[in-house]
Structure formats: C-alpha cells, structure tokens
A and B are shown apart, each in its own frame.
Chain A
Amino acid sequence: MARLSSGSRSWSHKAACVWLALVVLVAGLAGVLPLPYLPSVPDLAHIAQPPFATSQHWLGTDPQGRDVLSVLVFGARTAVLLTLPAAALSALLGALAGGAAGFWGNKARLPVPYWLLATGGAWWALRLPIPTLALVIAAGGLVVAALARLRQRPFPTWAVPINAIVMGTATTLDTIPRLILVVAVAAGAGVSSAGLLGLLTLTAWPHPARLVRAQMLRIRELPFVEAAHAAGLPAFQVWFRHALPHALQPLRTAMPLSVASLLGLESTLSFLGVGLPPEVASWGRLLSTVRQEPAAWWLFLFPAICLIFTILSLLNLSRQQPVAA
C-alpha cells in the first residue's frame, strides 16, 4: 500500500476528516439550507445552463432544468442516509453471524427441549397443517424440560451447525457479483429506499462476517477466554461479553472501506436507473444526465469531484486507523 511521509499523512488525514464531516453536515442540514430551488422542482426556463451564467443557479442546471447545487446537496443526503446505515447494519449482522460461527463452529449444542419449542413455534407461525400438532410438540418440549429439571440431570442436546449455515449462506451470496445480484433482485422485487437499504445490507454482510470469524478463531484460543470458561460463565456470556469485543477489531479498518464500496454501488445503481425511484436526488443519477448533453462538463465535473473526494477520504480514513490506534 502507498505510504506517504508522516507530515503529509497527518495533512491528508485532516483533509479527509474535514471533507467527510462537511458531507455529513450538508446531508444533515439539506432540509434547512437556503437553496433557491429544490431538486424536485425543475426550472424549465433555464435548461442545461453552465455554472455562474445566471444568478440563481451557481453550479448550473441539468437538461431537465434541475439545479446542480441542490441535487448535489440532496444527493449527499441520499448517499449518507443509504450507505451509513447499510454499512452499520451489515457490520452488525456480519459481526453477530461471523462471531457465532467462529466461536462455536459446528459444535454448538442446543438442548432438545429448546429444539422442540422452536419447532412447535415455527410450525404454528408457518400455519402448517394440524396446528394442534404444533402445540403437542411445544408442550412435549416443556414437559421434557420440566422432567430434566426435576431429576437434576443435564438436558440431552443436539448440535447446531452454525458455522456451516453462516459460511454456506455467505458463499452463496458471494457467488454472483453484488451488482448483478442487486440489479436482479431490485428489478424483481421492485424496491423503495428502505427496501434498497435492506438489499444492500443483505448483500454486504458476508465480508464483515468473514473478517470477524477469522479473528474469532484466533481469539477463542486465547487464555482469557479459557479463564472465563473456567470461572463458570455461561457460553453465551463468554461469547458476547468477553470474546466478541476483541473480535470486532478488524471492522474498524473495514468500515470505511465498506462505506466506500456501498457508495460506489449506490451511485452505480442510480446511474443505471435501477433501485432508487427517479425523483430521489443522487450523484449517480446526475452523472447519468451528462450523456444527453455531452458538452455540459459541469454535469460531470461537480458530482464526480464529490464522489471521488468522498471515496478517497474514506480510503484514507481506513488506512489511518491502525496508526491512530
């Protein structure tokens, strides 16, 4: 990886932080900023105006007469509201799934009464035929639990192959490139903003899950985990309170990269016209309008600068993390 000198490192780090803070600030204040035109209101009298040509449109307008500056501001809001939650949710999901897969492997054992209760509950929830059978199964689970409690014997257990389930799902999702998968599902199911957020989360979690799992495989062999086991803590507590916080370490570097790749994916989707509805302002959609108007350099330059600066700042942030830590 590229190593700059220490002086320029701190300088570029500061610039990256300032730029990202600016983007988030603008995104947060998009609703109250004194913009003369909203991106949803086209100014049909001024179509494809160059920047500074008219006093109202500082950065010009696109072929539909929308103000470039306000599209940039609201596009920042779309980007922040979509990529940050998606990155956070996928990191959370990946940490839980990958952490569980790494800690227990395929050897987690769930007592049989819980199996019976879960089966009965699922039966009831799915409304499979003969609903009384679900009640019978669940009641059987309770009876077995009570009997085992009364006779002071440990529950009989069955294994849950957590590792196989998590890694199998992750491998399945990784088989097809994310862009193709998201395009196919987004077209098939027809998504809103919230649906797209869920879709991005669903396709982004395998990467953090792999990272956390790999770290967890190392952590679970360390003495402090053994000490926690020896102190008699339940396995869930050892996992959640002791092992998991240490296994989250790689996510600190991976989070900015994940946000950057999600930002790239979101703008690519908007550029292709898949996913977000057309009235939502987005940098990618603004970039796609330049193809109708090849002479309009301002339609390419300003959103491209926003996108490139944001992505490079995120890269810089992820590279600086180990130094700052």
Chain B
Amino acid sequence: MNWLVFWRLARTGLAVWALASGIFLLSHHDLSGAARMATPDAADLPMSGSANPSATQQQATTRAILQRLGAGLPLFYLSRPPAAHPGQWHWNGRRNQYHRWAIALLHGDLGTSFRTGQAVTTQLSNALTLTLPLTGTAAALAVLAAIFLARRLAAGPWWQRPVRTALAGLHALPLFLVALALLLLLANPEALDWFPAYGFDQALDTDADFWTRVATYALHLALPVTALVITALPELTLQLDTALRHELRAGYATTARAKGLAEGAVIRHHAFRNAVLPTLTQVAELLPALVAGAVVVEVVFALPGMGSLLAAAAAARDYPVLVGGVLLTGTARLLALLLADVLYFWADPRIRWHV
C-alpha cells in the first residue's frame, strides 16, 4: 500500500517535471530563435556599425536584455550549431540554460519574471494568498453541497428528474459562460447591482476594522466562488448520486429497510460510506481543475490571483511565470493525490487492514 502510494507520487512528480521541462525548452527555443533573428552575424557587425550607430545601440541593448534572460548560453546539453558544422551535434557540458534552470529549481528558485523583474516565487506566493482562499472555499463548498444534494436526490423525491437534467446540462457549460452570466446579472449597474464587479483595491485600501474588511472580502469573493461551485458541483453530485442509487439496490440496504429504518437513515448510515469511494478519486481531480478554473474566474472578475497572473504571463510570453504556474499546478495534483489516499484510508477499513 505504502509502496503503491509512493510509486504513484513518484510517477506524478516525474510527469510534472517532464511537462515543465518540455514547456521550458519549447519557450526558450523560441526565445533563442528570436534572438538569433534579431541580432545579425558577428562578422558583418563592424562594417555596418559605424554607418548606423543607433541600430548598433539597439542591437547592443537587445543583446544585453537577452544576456540578462540567460539567452547567451546554449539551450540544452546537446545542440546543433547551424552555421559552423552542419549536421554535427555539439556537447555543451553543464554550461547551458536547462542545467542552470534545473539546478536553480532544485534550490527553490524559479527565476525572475521577464515582465516585472520580480522573483517568480514572490509573485506566485503573493498571488496564492488570494487564490488559495478562493479555490479552497470553492472546493469545500462544492463537496459539501454535492454530498447534501446527492443524499436528497438518492432518496428519490419528486424533483429528482428535472434536477438531474439540469445538472447534466450545467456540467457541459464552460466556466467562463457561467461566470459572465453571474457578473452580468448580479454585479451589473444595468441589472442587479448587488455585488462588486471588478478588482480588489477598495477592499484592501481602507483602514476599516477587521469585520468590515472581512465583509468586503467575502462580498468580493462571493461571485467567483459561486461560479466555481456551480461548475464543479454537477460532476460530483451526479457521480455520487449514481453510486448511492447503486448501493441502495444492494442486499444490505434492503436488510436495513426491512428492519424498519427510514430511507434517509439507510442512506446516511449504510449506503453513503460505500458510495463515497469513487467521489474521493474525483476530489483528487478537483484541486488541479479548480486551479485551471481560477484562471477563468479571476480574469472575469479581475481578481489579482494566480489565474490572472498566469493569463497575463501567457499574453506577455513571460515564460518563467508560466513554467512556475505549471509546476505549482503539478504540486496541487501531488497534494490532491495524497489527500485522496488519506481519505480512502479513512473511508474504507479494508484498506486499513491491508496495510
């Protein structure tokens, strides 16, 4: 059991590393290509230099910028210089961008942002102070609401059919549509102006007392959390509902009913724990999915969190931030796997006995 968990974590970690390396190499390949196109060959530079000083100055600054970004070094351990020896591979040794990036990463340094010059770790941790409460609240609320709703649905009330249809339809809608609809309906001066629409600045500027600040904070996060919950809820609920109905047809449920228990008690005390196991696997999917959802929600509601940081970095081709975001999402997946294993351990005594 422990070996299984360890093996899965190691495999996921390896996958995250491979993806981050792939994105790093892709982006920096593009970078060095752009640098080569921007700067002419060293041979004809002295002749044209005296004739056009402003152009050489510009080239010098471009090269200085690229030097700061680390584009002067070769990209990977192996490279194929295009001009000197066509068709020959060249071994660069340890002086290459990938090696430096990997070593820095092992020391916990993700590099500096191209756009702002700040360290990526500071940017990400600043952004996480907003995103973690947002996604954490959304995840907790979605799971609780799904459990509540699925228990009610499994009891078979008269409204089960329309609710299931609505959930199945809602499941397919893109998150940005839901978020936009909420924004236009509930935070729009033209419609209902109940919630603040944009940004976070007013909430944090004021020197109001603690509770006022908490209230404004909650008011700003209400719509984003609602949007995330609405899109995360259907899958969880439908899965749990199907599992519950399956369990309620089992023999032990009939026995429980035969001894006179009410349907609600059968669901709560007998069927629920057996039905919850597949949902725990979904919880492992939920955390990374909410990080992706945060990209959309934070862009729609203009919140300065990790999602909008990633979106802005993508628009500006700020590769260190993007790679950092991918690594962070991978870490979320690792944590979610661990969490799912712990929850399995809690939910199913058979797993405990097997250890």
> Which residues of A are interface residues toward B (Cβ below 8 A)?
1-4, 126-129, 131, 171-173, 175-181, 183-190, 260-261, 264-265, 267-268, 271-274, 284, 287, 290-291, 294-295, 297, 300, 304, 307-308, 311-312, 314-315
Contact = CB atoms under 8 A, between A and B. Distances in A.
B328 to A, nearest CB: 10
Interface stretch (B18-26, B44-52, B58-66, B135-143): B18-26
A322 to B, nearest CB: 15
A184 B314 contact: yes
Contacts of B27: 187-189
Contact of B325 (A180, A271, A287): A180
B226 interface: no
Interface in B187-233: 188-190, 197
Contacts of A177: 288-289, 291-292, 329
Contacts of A173: 19
Contacts of A268: 174-176, 296
A217 B313 CA distance: 43
Given A2-B165, A311-B174, 18 more contacts: A1-B238, A126-B89, A127-B89, A175-B330, A176-B288, A180-B292, A180-B325, A183-B311, A183-B322, A184-B322, A189-B26, A261-B172, A264-B174, A271-B176, A290-B184, A291-B180, A291-B300, A295-B190
A1 B220 CA distance: 35
Interface in B234-271: 238
B333 interface: yes
Contacts of B181: 300, 304
B333 A307 contact: no
Pairs A-B, 7 closest by C-beta atoms: A188-B27, A187-B314, A177-B292, A2-B165, A264-B174, A172-B15, A179-B292
Contacts of A267: 174, 176-177
Nearest to B179: A271
Interface in B315-355: 315, 317, 319, 322-323, 325-326, 329-330, 333
A184 B317 CA distance: 9
A175 B12 contact: yes
A264 to B, nearest CB: 4
B105 interface: no
Contacts of A311: 172-174
Contacts of B174: 264-265, 267-268, 307, 311
Nearest to B184: A300
Nearest to A271: B176
A127 B79 CA distance: 11
Contacts of B288: 176-177, 180
Query: Secondary structure of the A side of the interface?
Result: helix
Contacts of B319: 187-188
B161 interface: yes
Given A128-B89, A175-B333, A312 B172 contact: yes
A48 B317 CA distance: 31
A222 B152 CA distance: 42
A236 to B, nearest CB: 30
Contact of B176 (A184, A189, A260, A287): A287
Contact of B322 (A129, A187, A265): A187
Most buried by B among A171, A181, A188, A307: A188
B80 interface: yes
Contact of B329 (A172, A176, A307, A315): A176
Given A129-B89, A181-B19, A189 B30 contact: yes
Contacts of B238: 1
B180 A312 contact: no
B164 A1 contact: yes
B146 interface: no
Nearest to A297: B184
Contacts of B313: 187
Interface in B142-172: 161, 164-165, 168-169, 172
Given A176-B16, A284-B176, A187 B317 contact: yes
25 contacts: A2-B164, A129-B88, A183-B310, A183-B314, A184-B314, A188-B319, A189-B26, A189-B27, A189-B30, A261-B172, A267-B177, A268-B176, A271-B299, A274-B311, A284-B176, A287-B176, A287-B177, A294-B184, A294-B190, A297-B184, A300-B184, A304-B180, A307-B174, A314-B172, A315-B168
A130 to B, nearest CB: 10
B16 to A, nearest CB: 6
Given A177-B292, A184-B322, A315-B172, A190 B190 contact: no
B57 to A, nearest CB: 27
B115 interface: no
Nearest to A5: B161
B296 A171 contact: no
B148 to A, nearest CB: 20
B303 interface: no
A13 to B, nearest CB: 14
Contacts of A314: 172
Contacts of A315: 168-169, 172
A175 B327 CA distance: 11
B11 interface: yes
A128 B87 CA distance: 8
Contacts of A183: 295, 310-311, 314, 322
Contacts of B19: 172-173, 175-176, 181
A294 B292 contact: no
B87 A127 contact: yes
A303 to B, nearest CB: 9
A127 B87 CA distance: 6
B15 A2 contact: no
Contact of B23 (A184, A290, A291, A295): A184
